[in-house]
């Protein structure tokens, strides 16, 4: 099945595949994460982009991100790196039990206890079997904590506490940022003990590799792309439009791709790029043209948001209902105003940051990340106001 | 008979007067004429008429004519009749030799004269006052009655003798006795107590064969004098009915020749009699330059607006003419003396002369006016003189305290004034008439005029003139005037579109048009509706003017706030646009600033009324009814098209527009660099016959037909003013060049009745299509809504176009 909301490229075998940028795979073996700092939103302690090799990674940490930000890729990366460690271990013939690969505990299954049969990994974890565990709570909705779930969480908490100091124990608590997590026994306990990391959004360098792919896709076609030195400024345009959010970036590239595809002759569409340039010559898209195209398609994207945006809005509304300060702050940001200098409360910023709405915009100012986000935040706030008026 | 009519001196009279004179003369020489009257108000030319008739009749031997008796000079003791008898007797002079007939005539005269002296005196009264004995008293009265009965007989006898004497003395062979003609001028000025008995006697005895009485009087005063006083009436007002009846008995209706007020055209073309001496032109070969008419004089002095208020009587006109003539020569002399000396001195004298007339007004703007009017007569002085000539006492008293160009600023109309549909049509009709010498009929009068001056002047004309003065000198702006007139205001209130838009829709609209959004927000007003997410959008020319005059803030803060307008470039751009607008309009349309002839609304009451009408005819409500199909920007586009067409269509008659355009078309080629203010010259100035000394100046000023807010439109559409002026001119040319039939069709469509409710949708669309398809509206390049798809396609089209040569070259290489 060919998805219509992702950027497709042709692989070396000439097969059309989804293009996925993976940190640590293409160019360097390190993964990029952003650590949420204490007074986030100030330039004193901005979120620190940390490029970490597998070894540098914290052993126990909280991973928070919005939906659709590429948690799957992190997991794949972790597994592959661990496989590498295991193979190294085997080659070197070191003593002791060989390290185990990452074990995924499905939080939805164990905490909600939807299924009577508990998986083996879960039982091993409870038995305090040393190893690498990922507690995946990303399918977890904003459910209130019941007595039942509370007890499971306490159980996990106790297990983690017991094994935390052991060097062969690794634990990642992966979740979205939801209101119920704030009083979640496990989450709040871990918050005290370890760092909170956020999955990153693409920066300019990373977006340049996307652009390279796009250029590559249109080699030797009727329409070719010639970016010259303007790649970084073009990346800036993309950043301005979607803020580098992985899902949005992929979709934006798809829209641009489709727009160019529509201009190609019939026989050139959906085929891998030919080896030779076309005999009739080709039209060259300059960087400015492409920038216009990205801007236009960015507007198109803002108008027709992907479905995931509805989930983001839903998640954020949960916070907005309880936190007036957050509403005020979001209103300001959406209105393109900075945080007032007298406002020294950073909780709202922290939450908005973790939920993926707020961060550094392309001009390195603290605010809503992109034009698309601004548009949607405006819509969200308008809807929020109207709802409020209705219930008044 | 026809000889006399031919001999009549008709020189210098208007055709109307000539015909009146002929018929008067014909009545006088009619064989059965008894009493003929020339009726008219003071200064309406009664005496002139009488003199002309007198001259003509006097020359004919069939008539014996008395001198013109000025009744105002009649001695109270002598009485009217006796004066007439004396005048009749004097016609026979000189009585050289005392023949028998002469003696008889003289005896008859003396007897009649003596009898006539006591006419009207009550002997009962005299006898009572002398406290006579009853017997003596009765005999005195009896004697008197008998005597007075004899008077008619005696008069007849005297008249017969006189006529006979005249026949013999002039031509003994002539078998026809001449008719006697008595001329009595200004009868109403005679002593009042003499008039009633005289008139009664006339009716009873003296309107007889063989004598014609030619009288002249003012109807009202005459009737008053003839009326018997009502003793029981509180105010002792005379009983006018009796006076009227007596007067009608004295002179039959057919024989009353009424000299009415002059028509406005005649007033404008007035020339005083002494300026047109026919003999002078006959004797010399070269004709002296024909003297200018009163209109010409007024125009030369820059006061042509006063044409509306000219007095209706020749005497008043003459006074005004002479005064104007005199002041003009004075001004010319002053200029001549100012030009002759050395430059330094002349500068001093001109500045002095400039400051002299309005030195008491320190306002800088007023000084600017004086600078403009320096060659002209100060309109205020002219107004004062006009009031004086017209005998408007209360008005001239008011003028002493308030300058005439300030009076209109005090105008208010009572808010409940409404003009019915019929009256409005009439008002428009009179506003459209050319030449503009008829007042605006059915124009509701401002309180000040209605209360104080309706009796003394034509209120409509006075209102218009005062408004004109105020508008020209910018003591009042056209917008202020519009705001004050409740009847136009209520009509303008109908010229608006009210729409509702949802926020989500607006978000898209405003984003679609990107950088040009601000210019469109500028036009309308946004208000939040009661229901969620809805916004009211009001659009009207009035709101547009308000913004231009900086009376409201056009920046829709609330809307933008609610929309979370965050597109940075757009917001900064919007602010920039609004700031630019503010500064630009502040300097251009500042009410306190210097400078004349600026602004965007026509500076004339008529033009404003026509503009209101034209705006009212635009299909605002039909557009409103179709709101779902339009974006705010399309609405603005339509609204501006309406306003454009309103300005162009109905403001001035097509001929004027076309004349101006054809005149300007030649000049614009040379004068492209001119600033728009210079282009904005009113049609009046353009259509005026320019005096020869200003002709060179006129050539350098290409007249644009109307005041057009080109600067404002430039702000809106981001097109240069010159282009808009060009586009606008195109629009007007298109409108005027449209074949008459087509124009009628469009005009019919523009009428509210032209759109039937069944077909409203189809017709509205076609109408709007017509409006928007006008090339000039297209030329304004108002933005069009586009989709992303279209934009993308156009982007690729551009790339294709750009790369075409390269693509073709590639295979060759």
State the complex-level ipTM.
0.84
**Distance in angstroms (rounded) separating the CA atoms of residues B492 and B540:** 8
Contact B631, B653 (CB under 8 A): no
Asked if A285's CB is within 8 angstroms of B799's CB, the reply is: yes
For chain B, say whether A261 makes contact (Cβ under 8 Å).
no
Provide the sign of the torsion angle of the four alpha carbons B100, B101, B103, B104, taken in this order.
positive
Nearest to B724 by CA among B781, B805, B675: B781
Point out the residue among B563, B803, B809 whose CB comes nearest to the CB of A283. B803
B675 pLDDT band (50/70/90 cuts)? very low
pLDDT at B683: 33
Q: How far is A229 from chain B (nearest CA, A)?
A: 19
Nearest to B311 by CA among B264, B242, B251, B376: B264
User: Which of B799, B802, B810 to mutate to test binding with chain A, by most A CBs within 10 Å of its CB?
Assistant: B799
**Distance in angstroms (rounded) separating the CA atoms of residues B572 and B559:** 16
Nearest to B91 by CA among B162, B186, B30: B162
Structural Rg of chain B based on CA atoms: 38
pLDDT at B671: 39
Point out the residue among A223, A281, A390 whose CB comes nearest to the CB of B810. A281
Q: What is the fold of A24-198?
A: Rossmann fold (3.40.50)
User: Which of A225, A276, A382, A387 to mutate to test binding with chain B, by most B CBs within 10 Å of its CB?
Assistant: A382
Q: Which residues of A touch B788 (CB under 8 A)?
A: 296-297, 299-300, 303
Asked if A284's CB is within 8 angstroms of B799's CB, the reply is: yes
Nearest to A207 by CA among A267, A289, A290, A86: A290
Point out the residue among A284, A297, A300 whose CB comes nearest to the CB of B803. A284
**Distance in angstroms (rounded) separating the CA atoms of residues B309 and B136:** 64
pLDDT at B56: 86
Asked if A334's CB is within 8 angstroms of B795's CB, the reply is: no
pLDDT at B678: 32
Nearest to A169 by CA among A97, A111, A80, A64: A97
**Distance in angstroms (rounded) separating the CA atoms of residues B446 and B412:** 5
| Assigned token pair, B415 | 């808010």
pLDDT at A211: 94
* pLDDT of B373 strictly over 50: no
The per-residue pLDDT for range B9-38, each reduced to its tens digit, is: 777 777 778 888 888 888 888 888 888 888
* pLDDT of B423 strictly over 70: yes
The per-residue pLDDT for range A49-74, each reduced to its tens digit, is: 777 777 788 889 999 999 888 888 88
| DSSP H/E element including B641 | helix B632-650
For chain B, say whether A212 makes contact (Cβ under 8 Å).
no
Identify the CATH assignment for B2-260 out of 3.30.470.10, 3.40.50.300, 3.30.70.980, 1.10.10.10.
3.40.50.300
Q: Which residues of A touch B561 (CB under 8 A)?
A: 335
Q: What is the distance in angstroms between the CA of the first residue and the CA of the last residue of chain A?
A: 47
Nearest to B298 by CA among B275, B276, B277, B327: B327
Question: What number is the average pLDDT over the span B462-487?
Answer: 82
pLDDT at A215: 93
Q: How is chain A split into domains, by residue range?
A: 24-198, 215-303, 307-391
Question: What number is the average pLDDT over the span B520-524?
Answer: 74
Provide the sign of the torsion angle of the four alpha carbons B259, B261, B266, B270, taken in this order.
positive
Contact A69, A199 (CB under 8 A): yes
Residue in chain A nearest B508 by alpha carbon: A303
Q: Where are the alpha helices (DSSP H) in B513-567?
A: 517-521, 541-548, 557-562
Q: How far is A297 from chain B (nearest CA, A)?
A: 8
More reliable by pLDDT, A311 or B100: A311
**Distance in angstroms (rounded) separating the CA atoms of residues A85 and A341:** 48
Widest Cα–Cα separation across chain B = 153
pLDDT at B696: 32
Asked if B507's CB is within 8 angstroms of A378's CB, the reply is: yes
Asked if A283's CB is within 8 angstroms of B800's CB, the reply is: yes
**Mean pLDDT, chain A, whole residue set:** 86
More reliable by pLDDT, B534 or A251: A251
The per-residue pLDDT for range B689-734, each reduced to its tens digit, is: 223 333 333 333 333 333 445 555 555 445 555 665 565 566 555 5
Question: What number is the average pLDDT over the span B574-599?
Answer: 55
B73 pLDDT band (50/70/90 cuts)? confident
**Those residues with Cβ within 8 angstroms of residue B656's Cβ, 6 or more apart along the chain or in another chain:** B434, B683, B686, B687, B705
Half-sphere exposure of B556 (CA within 13 A, CB side): 24
Q: Which residues of A touch B797 (CB under 8 A)?
A: none
B744 pLDDT band (50/70/90 cuts)? low
More reliable by pLDDT, B207 or A75: A75
For chain B, say whether A139 makes contact (Cβ under 8 Å).
no
More reliable by pLDDT, B560 or A367: A367
Asked if B809's CB is within 8 angstroms of A283's CB, the reply is: no
A360 three-state secondary structure: strand
**Those residues with Cβ within 8 angstroms of residue B448's Cβ, 6 or more apart along the chain or in another chain:** B407, B410, B411, B412
**Distance in angstroms (rounded) separating the CA atoms of residues A14 and B758:** 64
* pLDDT of B591 strictly over 80: no
Planar angle of CA B21, B27, B33, nearest 5 degrees: 150
Contact B617, B646 (CB under 8 A): yes
Planar angle of CA B509, B511, B515, nearest 5 degrees: 115
As beta bridge partners, residue B690 has none
User: Which of B507, B511, B513, B564 to mutate to test binding with chain A, by most A CBs within 10 Å of its CB?
Assistant: B564
φ and ψ at residue A224, rounded to 5 degrees:
-115, 165
Percent of chain B with pLDDT over 70: 62
Nearest to A277 by CA among A227, A228, A219: A219
For chain B, say whether A331 makes contact (Cβ under 8 Å).
yes
- Specify which of A325-329, B198-202, B642-646 reaches the highest per-range mean pLDDT: A325-329
Asked if A389's CB is within 8 angstroms of B532's CB, the reply is: yes
How would DSSP label each residue in B497-522? EEEEEEHHHHHHHHHHTGGGHHHHHT
Q: How far is A282 from chain B (nearest CA, A)?
A: 6
Q: Which residues of A touch B568 (CB under 8 A)?
A: 336
Least confident of A38-47, B126-135, B206-215, B739-748: B739-748
Planar angle of CA A314, A315, A319, nearest 5 degrees: 110
pLDDT at A232: 92
**Distance in angstroms (rounded) separating the CA atoms of residues B559 and B561:** 5
What count of CB pairs under 8 Å joins A to B?
77
- Specify which of B266-275, B540-549, B744-753 reaches the highest per-range mean pLDDT: B540-549
pLDDT at A382: 87
* pLDDT of B244 strictly over 80: yes
Contact B83, B118 (CB under 8 A): no
| Assigned token pair, B322 | 């002479």
* pLDDT of A261 strictly over 80: yes
pLDDT at B150: 81
Neighbouring C-beta atoms of residue B631, cutoff 10 Å: 20
* pLDDT of B812 strictly over 50: no
**Distance in angstroms (rounded) separating the CA atoms of residues A283 and B799:** 7
User: Which of B530, B566, B810 to mutate to test binding with chain A, by most A CBs within 10 Å of its CB?
Assistant: B566
Question: What number is the average pLDDT over the span A265-294?
Answer: 88
The per-residue pLDDT for range A193-226, each reduced to its tens digit, is: 888 999 888 989 889 999 999 999 998 888 999 9
The per-residue pLDDT for range A68-123, each reduced to its tens digit, is: 888 888 888 888 888 888 888 888 877 777 788 888 888 877 877 766 677 788 88
More reliable by pLDDT, B762 or B505: B505
Asked if B808's CB is within 8 angstroms of A378's CB, the reply is: no
B225 three-state secondary structure: helix
B744 three-state secondary structure: helix
B670 pLDDT band (50/70/90 cuts)? very low
Point out the residue among A263, A280, A389 whose CB comes nearest to the CB of B811. A280
* pLDDT of B358 strictly over 60: no
As beta bridge partners, residue A64 has A175, A198
**Mean pLDDT, chain B, whole residue set:** 70
Residue in chain A nearest B568 by alpha carbon: A336
pLDDT at B644: 66
| Assigned token pair, B454 | 């309706």
Task: Tell the residue number behind the tokens 């650590």, with chain if given.
Answer: A35
**Distance in angstroms (rounded) separating the CA atoms of residues B548 and B530:** 29
Asked if A281's CB is within 8 angstroms of B792's CB, the reply is: no
Q: How far is B812 from chain A (nearest CA, A)?
A: 9
The per-residue pLDDT for range B160-184, each reduced to its tens digit, is: 888 888 887 776 666 778 888 888 8
CA-to-CA dists, residue B292 to B277, B310, B327, B580, B746, angstroms: 14, 16, 14, 51, 43
Identify the CATH assignment for A307-391 out of 3.40.50, 1.10.357, 1.10.10, 1.10.1060.
1.10.10
Point out the residue among B563, B567, B808 whose CB comes nearest to the CB of A371. B567
**Distance in angstroms (rounded) separating the CA atoms of residues B570 and B237:** 80
CA-to-CA dists, residue A281 to A219, A256, A326, B117, B269, angstroms: 12, 22, 56, 129, 83
Q: How far is A141 from chain B (nearest CA, A)?
A: 29
Q: How far is B502 from chain A (nearest CA, A)?
A: 11
By residue count, chain B amounts to 813
**Distance in angstroms (rounded) separating the CA atoms of residues B85 and B78:** 11
pLDDT at B191: 83
More reliable by pLDDT, B364 or B109: B109
pLDDT at A76: 85
B564 three-state secondary structure: coil
Percent of chain B with pLDDT over 90: 0
Asked if A386's CB is within 8 angstroms of B532's CB, the reply is: yes
How would DSSP label each residue in A95-140? SSSPPPPEEEEEHHHHHHT-SSSPPHHHHHHHTT--SEEEEE-TT-
CA-to-CA dists, residue A62 to A24, A175, A178, B382, angstroms: 20, 8, 14, 94
A94 three-state secondary structure: coil
B113 pLDDT band (50/70/90 cuts)? confident
* pLDDT of B573 strictly over 70: no
Q: How far is B500 from chain A (nearest CA, A)?
A: 17
Widest Cα–Cα separation across chain A = 72
Contact B331, B488 (CB under 8 A): no
B389 pLDDT band (50/70/90 cuts)? confident
| Backbone dihedral region for residue B43 (phi beyond 0: left; psi -120 to 50: alpha; all else: beta) | left
pLDDT at B65: 85
Asked if B806's CB is within 8 angstroms of A382's CB, the reply is: no
pLDDT at A26: 56
Asked if A386's CB is within 8 angstroms of B533's CB, the reply is: yes
Planar angle of CA A366, A372, A373, nearest 5 degrees: 45
Q: How is chain B split into domains, by residue range?
A: 2-260, 294-476, 490-651+706-779
């Amino acid at each position: 099945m060919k998805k219509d909301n992702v950027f497709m490229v042709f692989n070396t075998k000439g097969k059309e595949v989804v293009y996925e940028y993976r940190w640590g795979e293409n160019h360097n073996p390190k993964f990029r994460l952003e650590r949420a700092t204490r007074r986030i939103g100030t330039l004193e302690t901005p979120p620190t982009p940390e490029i970490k090799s597998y070894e540098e990674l914290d052993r126990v940490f909280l991973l928070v991100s919005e939906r659709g930000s590429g948690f799957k890729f992190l997991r794949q990366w972790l597994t592959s790196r661990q496989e590498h460690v295991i193979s190294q271990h085997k080659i070197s013939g070191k003593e002791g039990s060989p390290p185990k690969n990452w074990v995924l505990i499905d939080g939805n299954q164990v905490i909600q206890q939807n299924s009577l049969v508990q998986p083996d990994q879960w039982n091993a974890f409870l038995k305090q079997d040393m190893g690498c565990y990922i507690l995946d709570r990303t399918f977890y909705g904003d459910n209130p904590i019941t007595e039942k779930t509370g007890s499971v969480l306490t159980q996990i908490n106790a297990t983690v506490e017991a094994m935390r100091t052991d060097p062969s124990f690794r634990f990642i608590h992966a979740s979205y940022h939801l209101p119920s997590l704030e009083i979640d026994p496990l989450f709040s306990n871990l918050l005290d003990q370890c760092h909170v990391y956020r999955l990153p959004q693409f920066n300019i360098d990373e977006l340049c590799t996307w652009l390279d792919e796009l250029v590559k896709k249109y080699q030797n076609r009727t329409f070719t792309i010639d970016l010259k030195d303007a790649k970084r400024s073009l990346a800036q345009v993309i950043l301005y439009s979607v803020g580098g959010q992985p899902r949005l970036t992929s979709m934006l590239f798809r829209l641009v791709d489709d727009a160019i595809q529509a201009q190609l002759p019939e026989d050139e569409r959906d085929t891998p790029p030919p080896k030779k340039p076309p005999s009739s010559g080709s039209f060259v898209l300059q960087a400015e043209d492409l920038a216009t195209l990205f801007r236009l398609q960015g507007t198109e994207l803002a108008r027709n948001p992907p479905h995931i945006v509805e989930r983001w809005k839903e998640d954020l509304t949960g916070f907005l209902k309880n936190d007036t300060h957050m509403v005020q702050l979001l209103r300001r940001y959406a209105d393109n105003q900075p945080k007032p200098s007298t406002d020294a409360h950073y909780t709202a910023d922290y939450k908005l940051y973790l939920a993926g709405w707020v961060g550094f915009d392309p001009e390195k100012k603290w605010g809503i990340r992109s034009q698309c986000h601004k548009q949607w935040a405006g819509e969200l706030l308008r809807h929020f106001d109207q709802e409020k008026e209705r219930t008044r | 008979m026809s000889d006399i009519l031919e001999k009549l001196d008709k020189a210098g009279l208007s055709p109307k007067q000539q015909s009146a004179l002929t018929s008067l003369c014909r009545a006088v020489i009619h064989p059965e004429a008894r009493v003929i009257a020339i009726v008219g108000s003071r200064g309406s030319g009664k005496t002139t008429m009488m003199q002309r008739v007198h001259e003509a009749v006097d020359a004919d031997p069939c008539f014996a004519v008395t001198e013109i008796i000025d009744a105002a000079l009649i001695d109270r003791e002598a009485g009217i009749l006796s004066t007439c008898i004396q005048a009749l007797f004097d016609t026979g002079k000189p009585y050289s030799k005392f023949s028998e007939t002469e003696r008889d005539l003289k005896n008859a005269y003396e007897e009649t004269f003596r009898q006539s002296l006591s006419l009207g005196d009550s002997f009962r009264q005299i006898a009572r006052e002398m406290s006579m004995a009853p017997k003596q008293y009765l005999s005195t009265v009896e004697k008197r009655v008998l005597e007075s009965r004899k008077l008619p007989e005696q008069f007849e006898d005297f008249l017969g003798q006189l006529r006979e004497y005249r026949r013999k003395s002039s031509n003994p062979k002539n078998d026809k006795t001449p008719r006697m003609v008595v001329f009595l001028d200004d009868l109403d000025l005679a002593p009042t107590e003499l008039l009633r008995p005289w008139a009664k006697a006339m009716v009873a005895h003296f309107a007889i064969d063989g004598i014609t009485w030619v009288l002249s009087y003012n109807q009202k005063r005459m009737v008053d004098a003839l009326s018997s006083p009502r003793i029981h009436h509180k105010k002792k007002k005379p009983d006018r009915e009796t006076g009227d009846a007596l007067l009608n008995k004295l002179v039959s209706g057919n024989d009353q020749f009424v000299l009415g007020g002059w028509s406005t055209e005649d007033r404008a073309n007035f020339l005083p009699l002494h300026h047109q001496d026919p003999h002078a032109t006959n004797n010399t070969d070269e004709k002296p330059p024909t003297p200018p008419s009163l209109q010409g004089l007024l125009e030369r002095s820059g006061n042509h607006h006063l044409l509306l208020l000219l007095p209706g009587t020749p005497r008043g006109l003459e006074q005004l003419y002479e005064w104007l003539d005199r002041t003009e020569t004075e001004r010319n002399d002053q200029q001549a003396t100012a030009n002759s000396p050395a430059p330094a001195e002349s500068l001093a004298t001109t500045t002095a002369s400039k400051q002299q007339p309005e030195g008491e007004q320190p306002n800088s703007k007023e000084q600017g006016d004086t600078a403009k009017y320096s060659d002209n007569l100060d309109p205020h002085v002219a107004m004062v003189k006009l009031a004086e000539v017209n005998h408007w006492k209360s008005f001239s008293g008011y003028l002493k305290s308030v300058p005439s160009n300030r009076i209109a600023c005090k105008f208010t109309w009572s808010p409940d004034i409404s003009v019915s549909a019929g009256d409005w049509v009439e008002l428009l009709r009179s506003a459209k008439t050319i030449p503009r010498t008829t007042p605006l009929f059915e124009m509701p009068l401002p309180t000040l005029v209605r209360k104080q001056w309706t009796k003394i002047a034509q209120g409509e004309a006075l209102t218009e003139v005062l408004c004109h003065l105020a508008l020209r000198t910018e003591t009042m702006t056209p917008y202020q005037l519009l705001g004050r007139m409740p009847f136009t205001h209520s009509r303008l209130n109908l010229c608006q579109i009210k729409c509702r838009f949802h926020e989500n829709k607006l978000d898209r609209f405003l984003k679609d048009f990107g950088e040009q959004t601000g210019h469109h927000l500028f036009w309308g007003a946004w208000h939040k509706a009661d229901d969620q997410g809805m916004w009211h959008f009001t659009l009207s020319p009035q709101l547009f003017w308000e913004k231009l005059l900086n009376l409201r803030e056009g920046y829709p803060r609330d809307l933008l706030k609610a929309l979370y307008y965050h597109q940075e470039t757009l917001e900064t751009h919007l602010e920039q646009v609004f700031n630019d607008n503010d500064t630009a309009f502040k300097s251009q349309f500042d009410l306190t600033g210097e400078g004349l002839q600026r602004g965007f609304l026509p500076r004339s009451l008529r033009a404003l009324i026509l503009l209101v009408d034209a705006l009212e005819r635009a299909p605002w409500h039909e557009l409103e009814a179709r709101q779902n199909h339009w974006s705010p920007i399309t609405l603005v586009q339509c609204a501006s098209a309406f306003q454009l067409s309103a300005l162009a269509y109905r403001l001035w008659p097509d001929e004027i527009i076309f004349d101006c355009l054809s005149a300007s078309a030649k000049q614009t080629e040379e004068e492209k660099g001119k600033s728009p203010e210079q282009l904005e010259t009113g049609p009046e100035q353009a259509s005026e016959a320019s005096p020869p000394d200003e002709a060179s100046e006129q050539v350098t000023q290409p007249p644009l037909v109307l005041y057009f807010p080109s600067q404002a439109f430039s702000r809106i559409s981001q097109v240069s003013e010159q282009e808009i002026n060009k586009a606008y001119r195109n629009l007007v040319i298109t409108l005027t060049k449209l074949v008459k039939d087509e124009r009628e069709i469009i005009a019919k469509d523009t009428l509210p009745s032209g759109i039937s409710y069944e077909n409203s949708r189809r017709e509205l669309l076609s109408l709007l299509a017509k409006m928007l398809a006008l090339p000039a509206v297209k030329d304004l390049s108002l933005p069009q809504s586009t989709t992303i798809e279209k934009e993308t396609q156009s982007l690729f089209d551009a790339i294709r176009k750009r790369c075409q040569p390269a693509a073709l070259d590639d295979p060759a290489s």
